[in-house]
Structure 1
Amino acid sequence: VAWVPRTAAGLRSYWRGNWQLAKEMSYERGGLSGTFTGRAEFSAIDDGWLAYAESGVALLGSDTFEARRSLLYQHGCTGPVRCYFDDSPEARTVEARIEAARFFHDISLEASEPFLHPCGPDVYSGRLIFESADAFRFDWRVTGPRKQGV
């Protein structure tokens, strides 16, 4: 792909708005394989911060259910874009929401190495891939004694 955001501000601008979302999960060990389809929205909540909210339908094993997830992305002027679990999307103030967030991983737009997230004895390894000016994806792999999959 010839076009990719080169800065945190460029990524913030690229992401803002609504997206269609599709996920596939396939585990050899420790997880349920399945799919998720729905919508995602990136919206500005503070200077340098985007809130990410996804909602849709998950099919895991033989179970189908509605699912949601919230993340926060901090787009500073320098350094990596920082991703956090948004544990308080209903917080009364933006400050309280940011304060309650838990670090997930960094995204370096300059480096090609994957971003890592340790989860107990397992490690999630992710990459942000730009497919076009209108499509991107995260590729995740988990390896460890409890889980193995994509």
Structure 2
Amino acid sequence: MAEPHEGPFVPVPDVAGYLAGRWSIERTVRDLRTGTEGRFHGTADFRPDPAGGALLHVEEGELTWDGTAYPANRTLRLRPRPDGSAEVDFADGRPFHDLDLGTGQWNAVHPCAEDRYEGTFTVRSADEWHLEWRVTGPAKRQLLRTRYRRTAG
């Protein structure tokens, strides 16, 4: 998988408008302490939140870790702002990070207990974007690289 932070980047003036729809996901997850690596394959749907005013980001798929496959899913809430950026929250309403793809790239930081998540979002085209999370701290040392590709229909 290509490095998420290499150029060129495609500016996105409206994050919610760009992300709306269905995406295929390919993700590698590497434990930097043990060298163990896993893979996630699945889909991400960005669809209107029935509660209004937001998009739900629903990921579903399968994580293969240490030779065993597990079902995996998560839901995030993307709350658009008037300037085209968005706030991203966990499903339970806790804040996760801001997202502004106006330049085609965005760096986000999320503290989680004593661990630190540093994310880099890069837009490659109208139909592909990448996300890399580096996690450092006493509980985790991980590198997660994800490629999202828009699906037809």
TM-score, normalized by length of structure 2? 0.77
Which of residues 26, 29, 34 is equivalent to 1:25?
Answer: 29
Task: Name the residue aligned to 1:123.
Answer: 116
Q: 2:96 aligns with which of 94, 104, 107?
A: 104
CA apart distance, 1:29: 2.6
Q: In structure 2, how many angstroms separate the alpha carbons of the residues matched to 1:31 and 1:13?
A: 38
Q: State the 1:108 CA deviation.
A: 3.1
Q: Distance in 1 between matches of 2:117 and 2:35?
A: 13
Unaligned runs of 5+ in 1: 88-100
RMSD between superposed Cα atoms in Å: 2.2
Shift of 1:134: 0.4
1:36 paired to 2:28: no
Q: Using the alignment, how far apart are the partners of 1:62 and 1:145 within structure 2? A: 26
Aligned pairs for 1:1-150 within 5 A: 1=8, 3-6=10-13, 10-29=14-33, 33-45=37-49, 46-47=52-53, 49-78=54-83, 80-87=85-92, 101-109=93-101, 114-150=107-143
Structure with the larger helix share: 1
TM-score (norm 1): 0.79
Q: 1:58–1:65: 8 Å Cα contact kept in structure 2?
A: yes
CA–CA distance in 1 between the matches of 2:29 and 2:9? 28
Q: Quickly say closer, same or farther: Cα 1:134–1:109, change in 2 above 3 A.
A: closer
Counterpart AA for 1:103: P
Paired residue total: 133
Q: What stretches of structure 2 of length at least 5 have no aligned partner?
A: 1-7, 144-153
Q: 1:23 to 1:2 in 2, by over 3 A?
A: closer
Higher relative contact order (CA 8 A, sep 6+): 2
